[in-house]
Amino acid sequence: MTDTHDTRREMPLGLAQRGYTGVIQHLSAKDAGSALSDIELESRLIELGFVEGARVEVLHEGLVGRDPIAVRVDNITIAVRRREAMAVIVA
């Protein structure tokens, strides 16, 4: 699924603007600076459907600091803070 996107630059989902659409490339929990351990953060992200190849779209942003964000992950919507979304690398 990634072949249609390999011309785009990889970036963390945590920096994406409202309206951004992309595909998850990989997870990189150590870059997120979350209060959770890397393994715990990665496990939780996977449990909520953030796996390689999933399509994401940033649907909504909060009022303060545009945080948290509501992300469409394939066909479900997940609310997540930008700090944790930094672990999701998209393109």
Task: Supply the minimum distance, in Å, between the C-beta of residue 31 and another protein.
Answer: 14
CA dist 86 → 4, 31, 83 (Å): 23, 7, 5
Under rule CB under 8 A, residue 68 binds another protein = yes
First-to-last alpha carbon distance for the chain, in angstroms, is 11
Residue 8 touching another protein (CB under 8 A): no
Alpha helices in 1-91 (DSSP H): 38-47, 82-85
- According to the binding rule CB under 8 A, does residue 59 interact with another protein? yes
Binding residues for another protein, per CB under 8 A? Answer: 34-36, 39-49, 51-52, 59-68, 70, 72, 74-81, 83-84
